[in-house]
Amino acid sequence: MSQIIRTGLIGHPVKHSKSPVLHCHWLKKYNINGTYDLHDTTPEELETKIRTLTDQNYTGFNVTIPYKESIFNLCDTLDDLACTVGAVNTVTVQNGKLHGTNTDVFGFIENFKIETQDFDLTKGPAVILGAGGAAKAVIHGLLIEGVQQIRLLNRTKDKAEALREQTLYPKKISIIEWNKRNDALRDAHVLINTTALGMQGYPDLDISLKHLPPGAAVSDIVYNPLDTGLLQCAKENGYITAPGIGMLIHQARKAFELWHGLLPDVDDSLVRQVTP
């Protein structure tokens, strides 16, 4: 019997996560002797939790809200992508050392392209709500896809300003006050929510799409509920939408590849399990 390959997810809260469904489906499908479990971890417990997983010979783990930035400083090495993005969502453990990378960039772009088909991201400004770890990955993805203008809004403006300075092209990013989010949609081509708003247990995202031009695309990284208030409103008003569950699936595929050496596919049975 081969040695069991242990992986999992650290976050707070994590109980609604669909990551175990994805990873366990692929472990079974590809006949890999492995596990993927949830570790609900408070900020005070984070360092101890990481040491525990390392001591227990975990092969790797994902990191989610709110630790994608704090884990960045706890890794022993970071690949170029994690360094450029400034956030880590996937860690591989080798000889007790933590190697951080970011599979959210791939997850976001792959999902956006599949869901919106021929949508040309470069045709107009993108409005991004939020300036946490997920926003960093989304903004990096948009910049490398050639988006020329990003309007960034965050409840805590200082965080948006700091994020802008860390990106590849700070001049392409303008910071707008959080309470101006309805107006920020004028002439916009894309709207992406990267905040936790709309997620189960969080308040709703309060935004009106009245100024968003027809033909624009709307994406939400929140996937619990699958159909967030933002996505529902966007669909009712005829916008193209890219739901967050797809980003979750595609970032998970890349993480699985790092730990198990094969890029898993997305079959109908998996989609049925995560989108009941």
Could you tell me whether strands 217-220 and 190-193 are parallel, antiparallel, or unpaired per DSSP bridges?
parallel
Q: For residues 199 and 234, which CB has a smaller minimum distance to ligand ATR in the complex?
A: 199
CA 82 to chain centre: 13
Cβ 105 to ligand ATR shortest distance, Å? 13
Q: For residues 269 and 274, what is the distance between their CA atoms, to the nearest angstrom?
A: 9
Angle between helices 244-260 and 19-29 (to 10 degrees): 50
State whether residue 190 is helix, strand or coil. Answer: strand
Q: Which residue's Cβ has the minimum distance to ligand ATR?
A: 132
Six token digits for residue 15: 């109980």
In degrees and rounded to multiples of 5, residue 212 shows phi and psi of -75, 125
For residue 44, what are the CA distances in angstroms to 12, 39, 48, 55, 108? 11, 13, 8, 19, 30
Residues in touch with ligand ATR (CB under 6 A): 65-66, 68-69, 130-135, 154-156, 159, 194-197, 203
Q: Which of 195, 199, 192 is nearest to 112 (CA)?
A: 192
Is position 68 annotated as part of the catalytic site? yes
Cβ 68 to ligand ATR shortest distance, Å? 4
Question: Contact at 8 Å (CB) between 272 and 223?
Answer: no
Cβ 247 to ligand ATR shortest distance, Å? 11
Cβ 204 to ligand ATR shortest distance, Å? 10
Q: For residues 135 and 234, which CB has a smaller minimum distance to ligand ATR in the complex?
A: 135
Catalytic choice (15, 28, 29, 68): 68
Question: Contact at 8 Å (CB) between 9 and 20?
Answer: yes
State whether residue 75 is helix, strand or coil. Answer: coil
Q: For residues 27 and 195, which CB has a smaller minimum distance to ligand ATR in the complex?
A: 195
Q: For residues 32 and 111, which CB has a smaller minimum distance to ligand ATR in the complex?
A: 111
Q: For residues 71 and 216, which CB has a smaller minimum distance to ligand ATR in the complex?
A: 71
In degrees and rounded to multiples of 5, residue 87 shows phi and psi of -150, 150
Q: For residues 82 and 136, what is the distance between their CA atoms, to the nearest angstrom?
A: 10
Q: For residues 59 and 195, which CB has a smaller minimum distance to ligand ATR in the complex?
A: 195
Angle between helices 133-144 and 104-116 (to 10 degrees): 60
Cβ 10 to ligand ATR shortest distance, Å? 12
Query: What is the sign, positive or negative, of the torsion defined by CA atoms of 248, 251, 257, 259?
Result: negative
Cβ 151 to ligand ATR shortest distance, Å? 14
Active site residues: 68
